[in-house]
Chains A and B, each alone.
Chain A
Amino acid sequence: QKEVEQNSGPLSVPEGAIASLNCTYSDRGSQSFFWYRQYSGKSPELIMSIYSNGDKEDGRFTAQLNKASQYVSLLIRDSQPSDSATYLCAVNMDSNAGGTSYGKLTFGQGTILTVHP
């Protein structure tokens, strides 16, 4: 069974610190990786997508991908109380060209992040 695993947390960091969120996935052939943020009672919103090994930075967010280790992470620098949310790692494990299942994501269980002042 194809799986995505995250530390459920909760992860608590002080304001201004770096928050590090981790995710592993089981399908070595996966090509597309996403981080979503979900506030309580709301739907997920896309933070980052990453497709190639290495780092991808967007503002205070950095996604890191290591396909050999089947590992993807999200770093949040200068964490703010408004970053407190559940962070969902999502992996596209069905990237078959022409297949009807393209774009289908498998989600991890989410990591609850709390940034305290």
Chain B
Amino acid sequence: GAVVSQHPSWVICKSGTSVKIECRSLDFQATTMFWYRQFPKQSLMLMATSNEGSKATYEQGVEKDKFLINHASLTLSTLTVTSAHPEDSSFYICSAGSGEMWETQYFGPGTRLLVL
């Protein structure tokens, strides 16, 4: 149980384009999903907390107009990187928790984004 998937696993795009990343909880309903970014040799940095049916809560320093988050259902959250630039190249990881096991986060496999 507690499987989280992400799509795509790899994406290469040109500077200025937008990229959408999907995060799905496969065998449980995720009340809350979290989006992280990880640069090489650094730890995970939380970008935003996404609650189903409400607006995401962004961490300080994260541009909400650049990183659009939609949590339309209890099994799907999306992160859209708008007008991507090379400095947005990173490893983006989502995690999900449920109302029953809300204290435990299960991570998706991650999406590696390279902006040329």
Chain A residues with CB under 8 A of B32: 102-103
**Does A92 reach chain B (CB closer than 8 Å)?**
yes
**Does A80 reach chain B (CB closer than 8 Å)?**
no
Determine the distance from Cα of A91 to Cα of B52 in the docked complex, in whole angstroms.
23
Q: Assuming the A-B contacts A100-B49, A100-B51, are A105 and B57 also in contact, with contact meaning beta carbons closer than 8 angstroms in the complex? A: no
Q: For B110, give its contact among A43, A92, A95 (CB under 8 Å).
A: A43
B69 smallest CB distance to A (angstroms):
14
B60 smallest CB distance to A (angstroms):
10
**Does B18 reach chain A (CB closer than 8 Å)?**
no
Which among B44, B49, B110 has the highest number of chain A CB atoms within 10 Å?
B44
Of the stretches A15-23, A44-52, A65-73, the one at the interface is A44-52
Chain A residues with CB under 8 A of B104: 34, 46, 49
Chain A residues with CB under 8 A of B42: 109
A47 smallest CB distance to B (angstroms):
12
Q: Which of B5-41 contact A (CB under 8 A)?
A: 32, 34
Instruction: Report the number of A-B residue pairs with Cβ-Cβ less than 8 Å.
Output: 56
Q: Assuming the A-B contacts A101-B49, A103-B34, are A44 and B103 also in contact, with contact meaning beta carbons closer than 8 angstroms in the complex? A: no
Chain A residues with CB under 8 A of B68: none
Residue pair A108, B43 in contact (C-beta under 8 Å):
yes
Determine the distance from Cα of A105 to Cα of B113 in the docked complex, in whole angstroms.
23
A59 smallest CB distance to B (angstroms):
18
A56 smallest CB distance to B (angstroms):
14
Chain B residues with CB under 8 A of A46: 104-107
Residue pair B103, A103 in contact (C-beta under 8 Å):
yes
Chain B 94-116 near chain A by CB (<8 Å), digits 1 or 0: 00010000111111111000000
Additional A-B contact list (16), CB under 8 Å, known A43-B109, A102-B32, A109-B42:
A42-B109, A43-B107, A44-B107, A46-B106, A51-B103, A88-B43, A95-B103, A100-B51, A100-B57, A102-B102, A103-B32, A103-B49, A103-B103, A104-B34, A108-B43, A109-B43
- For the complex of A and B, the 6 pairs showing the least CB-CB separation, nearest first, are A43-B110, A43-B107, A103-B97, A109-B43, A32-B103, A107-B44
List 13 A–B pairs whose Cβ atoms lie within 8 Å, in order of A's numbering. A43-B110, A46-B105, A88-B43, A95-B103, A100-B51, A100-B57, A102-B32, A102-B102, A102-B103, A103-B103, A106-B46, A107-B44, A110-B43
